[in-house]
Chains A and B, each alone.
Chain A
Amino acid sequence: DIQLTQSPSFLSASVGDRVTITCRASQGISSYLAWYQQKPGKAPQVLIYAASTLQSGVPSRFSGSGSGTEFTLRISSLQPEDFATYYCQQFGTYPITFGQGTRLEIK
């Protein structure tokens, strides 16, 4: 299985901050990576796919980059509704796997 390791696991930030979350894959996955946001009691929602493509309807303050084994999710200016848990997911090799999650909380 491909292991995805996110860092940090926990992040405390303020509204307006720029934040970066990293996802490292245990082997190369080209650009077969997606990012999801999950709020308490809700299903995850896809933000980014193919490592850097913004899902329709997602605000442009979200961006993704990377390929191979290292990937990054950036939020350019945190809004109150962005405080949530973020997961990366690889879909290039079965079984599909997810990172352990990064919980983003308000400072």
Chain B
Amino acid sequence: QVQLQESGPGLVKPSETLSLTCTVSGGSMNTYYWSWIRQPPGGGLEWIGYIYSSGSTNYNPSLKSRVTMSVDTSKNHFSLTLSSVTAADTAMYYCASGRGHESGDNVFAYWGQGTPVTVSS
């Protein structure tokens, strides 16, 4: 059973860069798509983007100018950086994937538990 686990600082200062890592266990990352999704307090879900195991990416245009994703399949993890953060970036950040789901990797059958990030000075 594939498991995902987010890690990273829980507090980031305004204008700085948020950096998170998702570690994948229980299966290979190869040939699958891996996404980041966030949820502000009391709010809904926002897809941030995905990275394929080869390193190709697709970002949500609403965040594209500030988002970078990377992957290291040898270490079984992928990462998110979000630059120039503001209070509006305060959210629970999830990594997720369908990882071979019959409807594709964008049906998110696997989720991390989430990591809360607060943007505050």
Using a CB–CB cutoff of 8 Å, the interface residues on chain A facing chain B are 1, 32, 34, 36, 42-46, 49-50, 53, 55, 87, 89, 91, 94-101
Contact = CB atoms under 8 A, between A and B. Distances in A.
B30 interface: no
Given A43-B113, A46-B108, A49-B103, A95 B44 contact: no
9 contacts: A34-B108, A49-B103, A91-B106, A91-B107, A95-B47, A96-B35, A96-B47, A98-B46, A100-B44
Interface in B47-62: 47, 49, 58, 60-62
A91 B44 contact: no
Interface in B79-116: 94, 96, 101-104, 106-109, 111-114
Interface of B: 35, 44-47, 49, 58, 60-62, 94, 96, 101-104, 106-109, 111-114
**Which of B45, B60, B113 has the most chain A CB atoms inside 10 A of its CB?**
B45
Contacts, number: 54
Nearest to A32: B103
* Most chain A beta-carbon neighbours within 10 Å: one of B94, B102, B108: B108
Nearest to A50: B103
A11 to B, nearest CB: 16
A98 B47 contact: yes
B107 A95 contact: no
Contacts of B114: 43
Contacts of A43: 94, 96, 111-114
Contacts of A36: 108
Given A43-B112, A43-B113, A91-B106, A49 B101 contact: yes
Nearest to A95: B60
Nearest to A87: B45
Nearest to A31: B103
Contact of A91 (B58, B61, B104): B104
A46 B109 contact: yes
